Amino acid sequence: MGDTQRVTAAIAASARLCVLTGAGMSAESGIPTFRDAMSGLWSRFDPAELASEAGFRADPARVWDWYAERRAGVRLAQPNAGHRALGEFARRRPGVLTLVTQNVDDLHQRAGNTGAIQLHGDIQRDHWLEPCTRQPGCDAAAAAPGRPPRCADCGNRVRPGVVWFGEQLPPASLLAAEHAAAACELMLVVGTSGAVWPAAGLASQARRAGAQVVILNPALSEIDAEADLVLRGTAAELLPRLLAG
């Protein structure tokens, strides 16, 4: 039995499956991976400079424009065969899959995994940059248009609802992800470089708790050593085969 058949059989026999996805999951939907996203127009910027509060405060319009371009890309993108396979699996075997994603797009949700845990937030959401202590607080509906929009009353700026470098992950999301990693029998790690923590640590957490860890990635990742098995392939190629059982 080959590696793919072994993993397919393990998934079919699993009562508690955790899947952790990264930007590679959406690559075949046309959304550049984070490290690739810094190619082309944005290649002259350091990702941490754009995806950070300091970068936003230093040049709000530039960061706002970068997210606006990425949001437009997400709206145009469609879930790929890998997203669809995960959505179908959740429908076919309710309660078995916990999906944890580092991605800020909504492709898992649009493919049917509405309960996906978003560790790094949601690019379609906005927050206020400063906590607003006034009553009533800043009203998003009345925000003055701009790059970024501002509160018409106090000038507070709108910022993207994603986790920036150096920021805490949403505690409830991280806790749910860690519980899923500790409880699963099998973890698939799909399309992540394993470069960003604490998300990257979920694979070793699962392994320490006794789960089998399988990595799906066309290239080497920083956490390959945490895997029992590495399948060299893409999300849209491998997931439909592995989850069909």
Q: Annotated active-site positions, please?
A: 120
CA angle, residues 223, 24, 220, in degrees to nearest 5? 35
Q: Name the residue nearer to ligand APR (CB basis): 6 or 35.
A: 35
Q: Is 67 in the site for ligand APR (CB under 6 A)?
A: no
For ligand APR, the binding residue among 17, 23, 111, 123 (CB under 6 A) is 23
Scanning the structure block, which residue is given the tokens 């694979």?
A: 203
Q: Which residue in the shown chain puts its C-beta closest to ligand APR? A: 24
For ligand APR, the binding residue among 81, 177, 235, 242 (CB under 6 A) is 235
Q: Is 119 helix (H, G, I), strand (E, B) or coil?
A: coil
Total residues at interface with ligand APR (CB under 6 A): 22
Q: Is 29 in the site for ligand APR (CB under 6 A)?
A: no
The residues in 101-120 that bind ligand APR, with binding defined as CB under 6 A, are 102, 120
Say what angle helices 235-242 and 81-92 make with each other, to 10 degrees. 20
Say what angle helices 235-242 and 3-13 make with each other, to 10 degrees. 60
- Kindly compute the dihedral angle of the four CA atoms of residues 126, 129, 133, 134, in this order, to the nearest 10 degrees: -70
The residues in 172-191 that bind ligand APR, with binding defined as CB under 6 A, are 191
Q: How far apart are the first and last CA of the chain?
A: 15
Residues that bind ligand APR (CB under 6 A): 22-24, 27-28, 33-35, 47, 102, 120, 191-193, 195-196, 217-219, 221, 234-235
